[in-house]
Amino acid sequence: MSQVIVYNAGGQQELHRVSLRHAIRMLHRRVARVLDVVDGQTFGPYDMPRSVELVRYVFTHWAYKRTGKVEYSKANVLRRDRYRCAYCDRAATTIDHIVPKAHDGPSTWLNTVAACEKCNWEKSDRTPEQAGMRLRITPYVPTAEDIYPASARTTKRLRAVMAMADSRQTVSAA
């Protein structure tokens, strides 16, 4: 049976691989959607998935611990900037490249900010200076606590509980 790649919501972070049967169950439960299909192959009336994407973003503590960095993605840029436009402070739904991709600007934490559609459209493929727009924030590389404050607190609390359990075992062994 073939393996199907599972991506986190946003389709940029590969999580793991599952069997075709497991992928079909994920699609049936609507926890994932097809991202890429195998051309010319089907299972029943459906195209056979090569990869699927989770419907909801899953914070992967293990990936953060392994690399020490939060994965760059559109969703995480919006979270970092608290869903506020970097130009006008309205609700943000998109991201904007400070140095546009048309001018070889990279898709990185330091070159992207959250933006509302109006400001993103007005800025177009120009730098903020060329467009006469002022950035209200300075982009930065976030930590897990910046992106997921609640889960970072949960992780700290879990570490504290584990440390207490370890210290109790040490005391009882003595």
Where along the chain do its domains lie? 3-54, 69-144
Q: Is the pLDDT of residue 155 over 60?
A: no
Percent of the chain with pLDDT over 70: 78
Give per-residue pLDDT as tens, 30-46: 999 998 898 888 887 77
Per-residue pLDDT, 1: 52
Listed in sequence order, the DSSP H helices in 5-116 are 20-28, 61-67, 74-80
Rounded to whole angstroms, how far apart are CA atoms 84 and 94?
A: 10
pLDDT at 160 over 60: yes
Residue 33, sorted as left (phi over 0), alpha (psi -120 to 50) or beta, turns out to be beta
Residue range 69-144 forms a domain whose CATH class is mainly alpha
Kindly compute the dihedral angle of the four CA atoms of residues 58, 63, 68, 72, in this order, to the nearest 10 degrees.
-50
| pLDDT at residue 142 tops 80 | yes
Q: Is 129 helix (H, G, I), strand (E, B) or coil?
A: helix
170 membership: H or E segment, kind and range = helix 149-173
Q: CA 18, CA 22: separation in Å to the nearest integer?
A: 6
Mean pLDDT value of segment 88-100: 94
Global pTM? 0.54
Which residues, including other chains, have CB under 8 Å from residue 103's CB and lie 6 or more apart? Answer: 125, 127
Render pLDDT for 58-90 as a digit per residue (tens, 0 to 9).
766 655 555 667 778 888 899 899 999 999 999
CA nearest to 19, candidates 46, 61, 52 = 52
